[in-house]
Amino acid sequence: MADINEIGKKQEDVQKLLNDVKGLKTFFSDKEAAFFTDAGRELTEGVLQTSFLLFKIDLNKTKVHALYAEAKVKHYLPPIEIFARINVEVLDPTYHTKGGLVKKGFGNLTAHIYIEQLRELDLMEKEEGNVIITKIKMGEYINYKGQYYEITDDGHAQINNQHSWAGDRRFYITVKAKEIDEDIMKGR
C-alpha cells in the first residue's frame, strides 16, 4: 500500500526535467506569456464581454440524504460572474416515440476561462506546475443568457497543446455544461 505522504510527490529526476529550460521555454518567457494572456483577456472581457453566472452549491446549508448523498432542496452561494469565450451548440429536437411527444433540443455549453481570472476570483484550489484544480465542480450550475446548464466537465484534466503553448504553460481551462430544465435549477 502506498504511503499517504508520498502520493502526489514528484521524483527528483522528474522534477529536474520539468525545471530544465529548453525548447520553447528558451524563447517563450514569462513576459511573452503575460502579453498573450493580457491580449486574450482584453478581447474576452473588454471587447466581447461574454460572461456567465456560476451557482455554487452551499455545502453547509444543503442537507443531503444519508444513504444516497443527494439533496432534494439545494442552497446556493451568491452567484459569481465569470468572463469567458462561450459557445453553445444546440442539439436537434427528437421524438420520444414515433408521432409522440417532441423532446426539446437541449444545448451544450463550452466556456474557455482564463486561469488568471480564476485566481482573481479566488476559484483556484491547487496550482502546482501544470496541475491545476479549480473550485468549479461538476454538478454545479451556470446561467448564460437566461438558460441554466449543469457542469459536466470541470476542466481538471486538460494538459495539452490546445490549452498551452506546446504543453509548457497553461492559459485557460475549458468547462463544459449541459442545458437543463428550469425546474431542476431553482437558484433564482
Q: What is the pLDDT of residues 78-110, one digit of tens each?
A: 999 999 999 999 877 666 666 666 656 678 999
Asked if residue 57 belongs to a domain, the reply is yes
For residue 146, the one-letter residue type is G
Asked if residue 186 belongs to a domain, the reply is no
Asked if residue 67 belongs to a domain, the reply is yes
Whether residue 79 contacts residue 54, with contact meaning beta carbons closer than 8 Å, is answered with yes
Whether residue 179 contacts residue 144, with contact meaning beta carbons closer than 8 Å, is answered with no
Q: How many CB atoms lie within 10 A of CB 123?
A: 17
Structural domain total, the chain: 1
Asked if residue 16 belongs to a domain, the reply is yes
Domain carrying residue 68: 12-179
Whether residue 71 contacts residue 65, with contact meaning beta carbons closer than 8 Å, is answered with yes
- pLDDT for residue 188: 44
Positive or negative: CA dihedral 160, 163, 165, 170: negative
Asked if residue 7 belongs to a domain, the reply is no
- Does this model's pTM top 0.75? My answer is no
Asked if residue 188 belongs to a domain, the reply is no
d(CA 40, CA 38): 6
Asked if residue 4 belongs to a domain, the reply is no
